[in-house]
Chains A and B, each alone.
Chain A
Amino acid sequence: MEKYKLAFYWASSCGGCEVAVLDIHENILKVIEIADILFWPVALDFKYKDVEAMKDNHIDVCFFNGAIRMSEQEHLAHLLRKKSKIMVAFGACACHGSIPGLANFFYRDEVMNRAYLETPSTVNPENILPQEVTKVKEGEITIPEFYDTVHTLGQTVKVDYFVPGCPPVPDQIMTLVEALIKKELPPEGSVIAGDKTLCDTCERLREEKIVPQFKRLVEVIPNNEKCFLEEGIICCGPATRSGCGNRCINANQPCRGCFGPAPEIHDQGAKLLSAIASISSINEEERVGEFVNSIPDPAGYFYRFTLPYSMLKRKLIREEKK
């Protein structure tokens, strides 16, 4: 049998997804049996021009992790799409924007100023900011453009399969590998994860979801058995896709929502907001402020992993200066 040709790429991400590939342990040998790796910048020395030299559709499967934040990443997304038969959005950043996507709460200049001027650990007396083009005596040197808005891979190019999670779990990776081995691929556009909400698969004790007061995780030690929401700890389970194996829940931590919206949910943050507001026990109009104040950062909490994928996608775009 001819071996599959695989490519891995990382865009705006932390590198955790690259490590997650190794979480399948000795199963990696199965992968090596069926596949050759043609491109993997984190592990092996390839050049972009090697990819450019390939024929279209030369790569069988490209595992693309990370969000699209810079022109280089966007370029590679288009390039790898052209060279790959199957494009897999691998991990929460590629699927939904995830943590790098939280930059969509800010504008480009705010991000730059914070990173290069304002942070207490920065010494930059000449206020030098990165420039796309710099003239030196040998000519011009360029760096990629830093965009105002973080996008998901699916918004940038056509994606065949989505593997959500921060990072994805071995089960999802093996589902895809087994499908490749058997040549029984799921329908295009499939999300390789569960098809229920996390709450549906949670085994914690649920009695009656009425919450007198929401607390932040730092303020309480969660009970090991009871539903987090019933204890007043915000858990993203009601609006989050299952399939992670409930790792956080089993470690006595509430769900943070990294698998993105459950099927049929358009906007994870809006649905979570709705769910959280329904279970508060505050029924007096004059006390609603207490409820609202108990959730200091609703947008950040409810859209932690999905801001670029949400309906609004980012903070209001500023009018262009005339």
Chain B
Amino acid sequence: MVFEPKIVGFLCNWCSYAGADLAGTSRMTYAPNVRPIRVMCSGRVDPTFVIKAFLEGADGVLVAGCHPPSDCHYQEGNLKTMRRIPLLKKMLKQMGIEEGRLRLEWVSASEGAKWARVVNEFTEQVRTLGPLNWKVPQPKGGKH
């Protein structure tokens, strides 16, 4: 059986969610693996959210926001994300989570086709990496 990765997508309200909506209303067909979550700004995506997604069974996380430098509805939220996600990738790699499981993309409200392409590409990339299957270690129980 082909492995179907679970991917959590954080999409900013103003650009990327509208872009994904456009892909839908334009009836584009693309991989169904992303579970989109609408956030007001990609800058609202706390690294804690990404970690929680991995912890609770996601195989990949996609963060999408407005194009830098100046498309952000809040002026510089996307710039913070632009610095945060690469550093988070580096940190997660130290924890054993491959950099390829986290992706940052800029998708504007007019880029429905780009959204579909990004989702397809990322789904295949995570499929190649295989399941993450994060397990939280538990104490043994002191039977000694």
**Given A156-B139, A312-B51, is A274 in contact with B84 using a C-beta cutoff of 8 Å?**
yes
Interface residues in B89-130 by Cβ distance below 8 A to A read: 90-91, 94-97
Complex: A282 Cα to B88 Cα, angstroms:
16
A216 an interface residue at 8 Å Cβ cutoff? no
Tell me the complex Cα distance, A247–B59, Å. 42
Contact B94 A295 (CB under 8 A): no
Interface residue tally for chain A (C-beta within 8 Å)? 48
B83: contacting residue among A266, A277, A299, A315, CB under 8 A = A277
Is the Cβ of B142 less than 8 Å from the Cβ of A315?
Answer: no
Give A317 to B139 CA distance when docked, in angstroms: 14
Interface size on B, residues (CB 8 A): 33
In Å, the complex CA distance between A203 and B68 comes to 35
The residue in chain A whose Cβ has the minimal distance to the Cβ of B54 is A312
Q: How far apart sit A291 and B95, CA to CA, in the bound complex (Å)?
A: 20
In this assembly, does B27 line the interface, its C-beta being within 8 Å of a C-beta of chain A? no
What distance in Å separates the Cβ of B80 from its nearest Cβ neighbour in chain A? 5
**Contacts A75-B142, A312-B55 known; A266 to B82 CB distance under 8 Å?**
no
Q: Are B134 and A278 in contact (CB under 8 A)?
A: no
How many angstroms from the CA of A280 to the CA of B134 in the assembled complex? Answer: 31
Interface of chain A, helix or strand or loop or mixed? helix
Residue in B closest to A317 when the chains form the complex, CB atoms: B135
The answer, among A156, A270, A300, for a CB contact under 8 Å with B51, is A270
Inter-chain contact B142/A78, CB cutoff 8 Å: yes
Residue of B nearest to A72 (CB): B144
Contact check, B94 vs A291: say whether CB atoms are below 8 A apart. Answer: no
The reply to whether B94 and A317 form a contact with Cβ atoms under 8 Å apart is: no
In-complex Cβ contact of A269 among B76, B91, B139, B142 (8 A): B91
Chain A residues whose C-beta falls within 8 Å of the C-beta of B69 in the assembled complex? 283-284
Query: Contacts A284-B69, A302-B91; is A151 near B137 (CB within 8 Å)?
Result: yes
User: Considering the chains assembled together, what is the distance between the CA atoms of A297 and B96 in angstroms?
Assistant: 14
Tell which of B47, B94, B134, B136 has the most Cβ of chain A within 10 Å: B47
Interface string of B50-83 (1 = CB under 8 A from A): 0110110000000000001100000010011011
A 62-80 to B, binary, CB cutoff 8 A, 1 in contact else 0: 0000001001101101100
| Chain A residues within an 8 Å CB radius of B137 | 148-149, 151, 313-314, 317
A148 to chain B, nearest CB (A): 7
Q: Given that A71-B144, A72-B144 are contacting pairs, would A313 and B136 also be in contact in the complex, using a CB cutoff of 8 Å?
A: yes
Do residues B91 and A273 form an inter-chain contact, with CB atoms below 8 A? yes
List A contacts of B141 (CB < 8 A).
74
- Given A270-B47, A274-B84, A288-B83: A298 and B90 within 8 A (CB)? yes
**A311 on the B face (CB < 8 A):** yes
Report A-chain residues with C-beta under 8 Å of the C-beta of B36: none
CA A72 to CA B143, docked complex, whole Å: 10
Determine if A68 and B139 form an interchain contact, defined as CB atoms under 8 angstroms apart. yes
Question: Given the interface contacts A271-B48, A311-B48, does A156 sit within 8 Å of B142 by beta carbon?
Answer: yes
For B91, what are the chain A residues with a Cβ–Cβ distance below 8 Å? 269, 273, 298-299, 302
- Can you show 24 pairs from A to B with CB atoms below 8 A apart? A71-B142, A105-B94, A105-B95, A148-B137, A149-B137, A151-B139, A156-B142, A266-B48, A271-B46, A273-B47, A277-B84, A277-B87, A280-B83, A282-B83, A285-B68, A288-B86, A289-B86, A291-B86, A292-B83, A292-B90, A312-B51, A315-B96, A316-B96, A316-B97
- A residues with CB within 8 A of B: 68, 71-72, 74-75, 77-78, 105, 144-145, 147-149, 151, 155-156, 266-267, 269-271, 273-274, 276-278, 280, 282-285, 288-289, 291-292, 295, 297-300, 302, 311-317
**Closest CB pairs A-B (n = 6):** A316-B96, A299-B94, A277-B84, A71-B144, A270-B47, A298-B91
Chain B residues near A (Cβ < 8 Å): 46-48, 51-52, 54-55, 68-69, 76, 79-80, 82-84, 86-88, 90-91, 94-97, 134-137, 139-142, 144
Instruction: Known A-B contacts: A282-B83, A311-B52. Give 15 more (CB < 8 A).
Output: A72-B144, A74-B142, A77-B142, A270-B47, A273-B87, A273-B88, A277-B87, A278-B84, A291-B86, A298-B90, A302-B91, A313-B137, A314-B137, A316-B96, A317-B135
